[in-house]
Amino acid sequence: MAEPFWHNLVPDGYYRSIYDIDLDALRERGVSGLIIDLDNTVAAWGVGRPEPRLAEWIREVRDKGLEPYILSNDLGPRVDLFTRYLGIEGTARAGKPRRRAFRKAVEALGLRPDQVAVIGDQVFTDIVGAKRLGCHTILVVPVSRRE
C-alpha cells in the first residue's frame, strides 16, 4: 500500500543546523552520501563565499565516510564558487522539488536513494521530492529569515 501524501511532508530528522547532525547515526543507517541544499541550509541567502566552519564540516563528513553533494535551485556562479571552495560536486538550477533533480544527484554520487540523506531548510523544496524518491531526509532551521 502506498504511503499517504502527508508522509512526504515529515522529515526523518530535524536539527537546528547542519553542525548538529549526528553523522555516525547516518552511517549506521546505511547512508553513504549527503545531498545538501545551499541557500539557508549551509549559508545565508546571497552570502558570496563559504565560512571556514563549513569547510571543516565537509572534511568531517568525508572523514565519516560520507560523500557530500550540493543541490541548489540557485544560479550557477554562486553554486560553482561554493563547490570549488569546498572541493565537492554540485548542481545549480536543479529544479527541486522535482524527483528528477534528486535522482540526478543520487546518480552523480553513484548510490541508491536509500543510501542518501538530503539536508535542507524547506519542506516543500527539499524534503518532499527527496522523500518521494526514497531518500532519508533531514530538515534544518534556516540560517537566515531572508529568502
What is the per-residue pLDDT across 7-16, written as a single tens digit (0 to 9) for each? Answer: 667 889 999 9
**End-to-end CA separation in angstroms for the chain:** 37
- Number of neighbouring beta carbons within 10 Å of residue 100: 12
Model confidence at 117: pLDDT above 80: yes
User: What average pLDDT does this structure show over 122-144?
Assistant: 94
Q: Minimal CA–CA distance to 55: which of 13, 63, 45, 31?
A: 63
Residue 64: DSSP 8-state: T
Q: What is the pLDDT of residue 9?
A: 73
Rounded Cα distance, 121 and 141, in Å: 6
What one-letter code names the amino acid at 108?
Answer: A
The chain-wide mean pLDDT, for the chain, equals 93
Model confidence at 146: pLDDT above 70: no
Q: What is the pLDDT of residue 45?
A: 84
Q: What is the pLDDT of residue 103?
A: 97
Rounded Cα distance, 13 and 25, in Å: 11
Model confidence at 76: pLDDT above 90: no
Model confidence at 107: pLDDT above 90: yes
Q: What is the pLDDT of residue 10?
A: 81
Fold of 5-140: Rossmann fold (3.40.50)
Grid coordinates given for 59: 572534511
CA 73 to chain centre: 12
pLDDT in tens, 24-73: 999 999 999 999 999 999 999 888 889 999 999 999 999 999 999 999 99
Domain residue extents for the chain:
5-140
